[in-house]
């Protein structure tokens, strides 16, 4: 087994409790920041290639001075972040081949967030919980209580623990359509990742995450000393019925409150949902780890949906895939269990026993193979396929091999 250190960048999202006065200040600052970014994004179109590679601070400061000689009420440090953010949007647009539907100049102005450099906000803790001081104006720190669940508090405790190597960087302050505020804090840490050889692993635990079933986990191990034939362990399954029911009830309640104009009630609904989601994802990730721990040395394989990014746009309706994956990864790494990701395409429509692929075999929770006669829980079937697929890919060096760290997450 080899252990490598991997730099892990993560963003976690905290809800902020605010007041009318603080809201006004924040909203004005965000609007001014966006106005600046919007104007700057139009200027950036005519920058020469050499300007992009030279000192960006000078370029941003000089350019903004032309458009906003009176500084627009924005602190110079925030203005700089606005320019950097725009230039980063151009960088990624260019590296994606400049698609016509996402020109950077259209991304600013109407958006509702601003970015803070790491030293322009400060996380705080006291007996009543966590908070954050945001430097919105010069010589002025506004304090906001963080309305966090177990998941957020775990991160915050780690950030504030001086012995913990996790560090925090910049943050984005987002205002939602209903006026509520969320802080997206980016963190950095070096995580030891164990990268075992296939012959050092005794079990591969496939995990299928979903809406119908929160998780289904299934472990396989090699038969006769090789992975060409495997035996399978009893799977673990957590139905999502209760979570869905809870979410649907809150969605209804929220739309009623929204129709009645009760914004506070809407907020309370979202808070309740966030706390409940936190609890569900924690319990589920703990259960997955407990299942895997029976089979060490093992590897946990998750569906890799790397393009998926959790947003705070609709906190009630979003399924917490990302949060669940993060929790599993974090808890597994703590216990020295490696976690890998694979593209899950086809894993829900393939029979794990005989390999026949047919969409018709799956009907909600049931999987019934017409070729070999297997009748199985559909998500547990997918979990075994995820495990098998990973073994298969690991045996082919031309595909992402087992020692290719990019697949270790
Ligand atoms: Zn079959």
Q: What is the DSSP string of 172-216?
A: EEEE-TTS-EEEEEEEEEEEEEEE--GGG-SEEEEEEE-SSEEEE
Instruction: Tell me how far the alpha carbon of residue 379 lies from the centroid of ligand 1, in angstroms.
Output: 15
Determine contact, residues 360/348, Cβ cutoff 8 Å.
no
pLDDT attached to residue 320: 78
Instruction: Tell me how far the alpha carbon of residue 369 lies from the centroid of ligand 1, in angstroms.
Output: 5
Instruction: Tell me how far the alpha carbon of residue 371 lies from the centroid of ligand 1, in angstroms.
Output: 5
Instruction: Tell me how far the alpha carbon of residue 370 lies from the centroid of ligand 1, in angstroms.
Output: 7
Surrounding ion ligand 1 within 5 Å at CB are 351, 353-354, 356, 369, 371-372, 374
Instruction: Tell me how far the alpha carbon of residue 380 lies from the centroid of ligand 1, in angstroms.
Output: 14
Cβ neighbours of residue 127 under 8 Å, at least 6 residues apart?
A: none
- For the chain, give the mean pLDDT: 85
Q: What is the pTM of this model?
A: 0.63
130: pLDDT confidence band, cut at 50, 70 and 90? very high
Instruction: Tell me how far the alpha carbon of residue 358 lies from the centroid of ligand 1, in angstroms.
Output: 10
pLDDT attached to residue 135: 93
HSE-up (13 A, CA, CB side) for residue 61: 7
- Mean pLDDT value across residues 275-295: 91
Instruction: Tell me how far the alpha carbon of residue 60 lies from the centroid of ligand 1, in angstroms.
Output: 61
Residue 105 and residue 47: Cα distance in Å, rounded?
Answer: 13
Instruction: Tell me how far the alpha carbon of residue 237 lies from the centroid of ligand 1, in angstroms.
Output: 21
Residue 285 and residue 383: Cα distance in Å, rounded?
Answer: 15
Instruction: Tell me how far the alpha carbon of residue 375 lies from the centroid of ligand 1, in angstroms.
Output: 9
151: pLDDT confidence band, cut at 50, 70 and 90? confident
Fold of 196-407: Nucleotidyltransferase; domain 5 (3.30.420)
The interaxial angle of helices 56-67 and 20-44, nearest 10 deg, is 100
- Mean pLDDT value across residues 67-78: 85
pLDDT tens for each residue of 10-25: 777 889 999 999 999 9
CA 195, chain centre distance (Å): 23
- What are 119's two structure tokens? 């030293």
Instruction: Tell me how far the alpha carbon of residue 396 lies from the centroid of ligand 1, in angstroms.
Output: 24
Instruction: Tell me how far the alpha carbon of residue 269 lies from the centroid of ligand 1, in angstroms.
Output: 45
pLDDT attached to residue 318: 61
Fold of 2-20+117-192: Small Protein B; Chain: A; (2.40.280)
Instruction: Tell me how far the alpha carbon of residue 217 lies from the centroid of ligand 1, in angstroms.
Output: 19
pLDDT attached to residue 321: 80
Instruction: Tell me how far the alpha carbon of residue 221 lies from the centroid of ligand 1, in angstroms.
Output: 19
Task: Indicate if the pLDDT at residue 295 is higher than 60.
Answer: yes
Instruction: Tell me how far the alpha carbon of residue 209 lies from the centroid of ligand 1, in angstroms.
Output: 22
- Mean pLDDT value across residues 387-393: 89
More confident residue, 266 or 171: 171
Instruction: Tell me how far the alpha carbon of residue 368 lies from the centroid of ligand 1, in angstroms.
Output: 8
Instruction: Tell me how far the alpha carbon of residue 361 lies from the centroid of ligand 1, in angstroms.
Output: 9
More confident residue, 66 or 50: 66
**What's the DSSP call for residue 292?**
H
Task: Indicate if the pLDDT at residue 168 is higher than 80.
Answer: yes
- Mean pLDDT value across residues 214-224: 94
pLDDT attached to residue 113: 93
Instruction: Tell me how far the alpha carbon of residue 13 lies from the centroid of ligand 1, in angstroms.
Output: 43
Instruction: Tell me how far the alpha carbon of residue 183 lies from the centroid of ligand 1, in angstroms.
Output: 48
Instruction: Tell me how far the alpha carbon of residue 65 lies from the centroid of ligand 1, in angstroms.
Output: 68
376: pLDDT confidence band, cut at 50, 70 and 90? very high
Cβ neighbours of residue 84 under 8 Å, at least 6 residues apart?
A: 56, 60, 115
Residue ranges covered by each domain of the chain: 2-20+117-192, 23-106, 196-407
Task: Indicate if the pLDDT at residue 314 is higher than 60.
Answer: no
């Amino acid at each position: 087994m080899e252990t490598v250190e991997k730099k892990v960048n993560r963003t976690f999202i905290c809800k902020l409790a605010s007041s009318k006065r603080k809201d006004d200040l924040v909203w004005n600052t965000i609007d001014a920041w966006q106005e600046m970014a919007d104007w700057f994004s139009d200027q950036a179109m005519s920058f020469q290639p050499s300007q992009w590679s030279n000192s960006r601070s000078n370029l941003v400061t000089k350019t903004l001075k032309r458009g906003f000689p009176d500084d627009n009420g924005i602190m110079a440090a925030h203005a700089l972040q606005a320019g950097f953010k725009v230039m980063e949007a151009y960088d990624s647009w260019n590296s994606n081949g400049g698609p016509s539907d996402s020109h950077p100049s259209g991304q600013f102005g109407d958006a509702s967030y601003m970015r803070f450099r790491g030293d322009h906000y400060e996380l705080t803790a006291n007996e009543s919980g966590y908070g954050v001081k945001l430097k919105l104006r010069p010589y002025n720190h506004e304090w906001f209580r963080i309305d966090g669940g177990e998941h957020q508090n775990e991160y915050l405790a780690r950030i504030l623990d001086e012995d913990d190597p996790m560090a925090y960087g910049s943050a984005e302050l987002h205002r939602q359509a209903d006026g509520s505020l969320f802080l997206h804090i980016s963190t950095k840490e070096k995580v030891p990742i164990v990268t075992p050889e296939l012959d050092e692993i005794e079990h591969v635990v496939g995990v299928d995450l979903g809406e119908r079933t929160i998780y289904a986990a299934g472990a396989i191990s090699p038969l006769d000393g090789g992975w060409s034939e495997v035996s399978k362990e009893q799977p673990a399954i957590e139905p999502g019925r209760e979570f869905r029911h809870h979410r649907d009830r809150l969605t209804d309640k929220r739309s009623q409150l929204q129709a009645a104009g009760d914004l506070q009630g809407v907020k309370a609904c979202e808070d309740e949902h966030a706390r409940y989601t936190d609890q569900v994802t924690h319990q589920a990730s703990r259960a997955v780890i407990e299942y895997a721990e029976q089979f060490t040395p093992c590897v946990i394989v998750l569906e890799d949906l790397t393009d998926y990014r959790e947003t705070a746009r609709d906190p009630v309706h979003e399924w917490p895939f990302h949060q669940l994956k993060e929790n599993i990864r974090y808890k597994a790494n703590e216990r020295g269990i490696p976690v890998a990701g694979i593209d899950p395409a086809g894993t829900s429509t393939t029979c794990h026993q005989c390999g026949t692929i047919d969409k018709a075999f799956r009907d909600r929770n049931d999987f019934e193979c017409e070729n070999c006669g297997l009748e199985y829980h559909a998500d547990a079937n997918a979990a075994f396929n995820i495990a098998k697929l990973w073994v298969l890919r690991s045996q082919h060096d031309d595909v992402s091999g087992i020692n290719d760290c990019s697949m270790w997450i």
